[in-house]
Amino acid sequence: MNRPTENDWVSSIFKFFAAGPDAPPIQDAAEVDRLYHYHRRNIIFIMTLCYGLGYVCRLAFNVVKKPIMDAGIFTPEEVGFIGSMLLYGYAAGKFSNGFLADYTNVKRFFAVGILMSALLNFGMSLSTVVGVSAMLWVLNGWFQGFGAPSCVVALASWFSNHERGRYYGIWSTAHSIGEGLTYLGIAFLIAMPPKGLGLPWQWGFWTPAAICVLAAFLLYRYMQDRPQTLGLPSIAEWKNDGQTVVRPTSHNAAKIWRDQLKVLAIPSMWVIALASSSMYITRYAVNSWGNVYLQEIRGFDLFDANLFIFLNTAAGILGCVAFGYMSDKLFDARRPPTNLIFGLIELIPLIIIFYGPTNSIVLAVALVIYGFGLSGLLASLGGLFAIDIAPKRVAGAAMGFIGIFSYLGAGTQDYISGRLIYDSEIRVVFSVGEYSPTVYFYDYTVPIVFWVGASVVSLVLATSLWRAKSRD
């Protein structure tokens, strides 16, 4: 019996991930309507749920930063370096996988990415070496980059132009769902881990890994490829809205590739990319360092600090949905006016968070309003606005292009923030009997200026595209 060759393995991988063939068209209009309604409901639910569950494998390291630094395993600079590796990996993954997703069976593509992320989180629980942790975390970022492109391809395939804002807003709540699960649930486990079963920070990786294995199973079971693979007409035919989504085949692959490259020639796409990059600096500054800041400067314990961050993310669920409905219904699917409104809603409380009074109620309210505004901007600048402007048949490429800028900004932020915090280090030696412990304090003044300034730049850029128009 002949052993499989390398070419056989590669061919098998391509076949596994390739978009499925068109099934014979269903002629019964009532059955078409029934299946469309059934699958659209399932797809938006399972995409939102599993993208949210997948988030915990991306954000786990943020929650364990303080315990890892307190244990002396990594310094703040090393923690910033490792955190930035995930974001750089995600930037590369979102870009490359965005172009690939236009050709793939997104159900399988997404599920495999989440499963690999789970395995890499388990590997992180075993590593105390900076180089090894950085390598594992950059790979985790790349596999996390399978998710968003798969989802936007599904959104472009199953939902029409004039309803996409609403459904994109619903899907974008996954960010807040995942962040809430991470900053509340995972923080609770670290604060009160099961006794005798590993170190507290290790539970910050084991639990996300188990959650993402479940998410991968659910995706493979309930997600769907494009409508034509089920014998359904395209969304353009079913909704009669004029949009065009070209099926990826061996015959039109070259045309799709040319259309993907055209994304790079749209000036507005570059402005959106820079606006998103600036917005992601602020977003990931609060996600990555907000809980540490609340512990170091505001004096909260680990669980309470993460509870405050949870309030921010919980409000984001409403922000995503509100942005989608407002931009679709009040502004006829125009995003710039809504960008301005949500940008101001995000910026004003951000200033209060860092420069306002040390009052728990004021801080909680500011975080809720900030989370509402930020999540609306995330829905728009993180992908929806770009999908509007780009041809719908290359939605994955548009998402990938925005993604690489977004996460280069986020990754650069994590390293720069860690370095700025490390450079502000103040060491105080206490004399306690025969012991002389050293306590480390950090000043966040300069990082805060960096974080708030990025939010201002994002708002200016996003508002500058006032006359940008959608394309079919």
Q: Which of these, 120, 122, 116, 113, lies nearest to 94 by C-alpha position?
A: 113
Number of Cβ within 10 Å of residue 120's Cβ equals 25
> Tell me, what's the pLDDT at 462?
86
- How many Å apart are CA 444 and CA 442, to the nearest integer? 6
- How many Å apart are CA 156 and CA 398, to the nearest integer? 11
pTM score over 0.85: no
Mention every residue, 6+ apart, whose C-beta is less than 8 A from residue 145: 89, 90, 91, 92, 93, 94, 95, 96, 97, 98, 113, 403
Q: How confident is the model at residue 437 (pLDDT cuts 50, 70, 90)?
A: low
Pick the residue with more confidence: 123 or 465? Answer: 123
- How many Å apart are CA 107 and CA 253, to the nearest integer? 20
Q: How confident is the model at residue 211 (pLDDT cuts 50, 70, 90)?
A: very high
Dihedrals phi, psi of 429, to nearest 5 degrees: -100, 125
> Tell me, what's the pLDDT at 454?
93
Rounded to an integer, the average pLDDT of 241-245 is: 55
Domain architecture of the chain: domains with CATH: 27-464 (1.20.1250.20)
Q: Nearest-5° angle of CA 59, CA 273, CA 326? A: 80
> Residue 27: is its pLDDT beyond 80?
yes
> Tell me, what's the pLDDT at 113?
93
Query: How much is the mean pLDDT over the chain?
Result: 81
Per-residue pLDDT reduced to its tens digit, 222-236: 898 889 889 999 888
Share of the chain above pLDDT 90, in %: 19
- How many Å apart are CA 232 and CA 24, to the nearest integer? 8
> Residue 55: is its pLDDT beyond 80?
yes
- How many Å apart are CA 398 and CA 392, to the nearest integer? 9
Lowest model confidence (mean pLDDT) among 112-126, 308-322, 441-455: 308-322
Encoded amino acid at 378, one letter: L
> Residue 214: is its pLDDT beyond 90?
yes
Per DSSP, 102 falls in state: T
> Tell me, what's the pLDDT at 136?
94
> Tell me, what's the pLDDT at 4?
57
Encoded amino acid at 444, one letter: Y
Burial label for 351, CB within 10 Å (0-12, 13-18, 19+), is: middle
Structure tokens at 371: 């989370």
> Tell me, what's the pLDDT at 406?
83
Contact 392, 162 (CB under 8 A): no
> Residue 275: is its pLDDT beyond 80?
yes
> Tell me, what's the pLDDT at 339?
87
Number of Cβ within 10 Å of residue 51's Cβ equals 24
> Residue 94: is its pLDDT beyond 90?
no
Per-residue pLDDT reduced to its tens digit, 359-392: 778 888 888 899 899 888 888 887 778 777 776 6
Encoded amino acid at 23, one letter: A
- How many Å apart are CA 114 and CA 144, to the nearest integer? 7
In 250-328, alpha helices (H): 253-262, 267-296, 302-325
> Tell me, what's the pLDDT at 21?
84
> Tell me, what's the pLDDT at 216?
95
The CA-atom distances, in angstroms, between 259 and each of 91, 187, 241, 256 are 21, 44, 21, 5
> Residue 358: is its pLDDT beyond 60?
yes
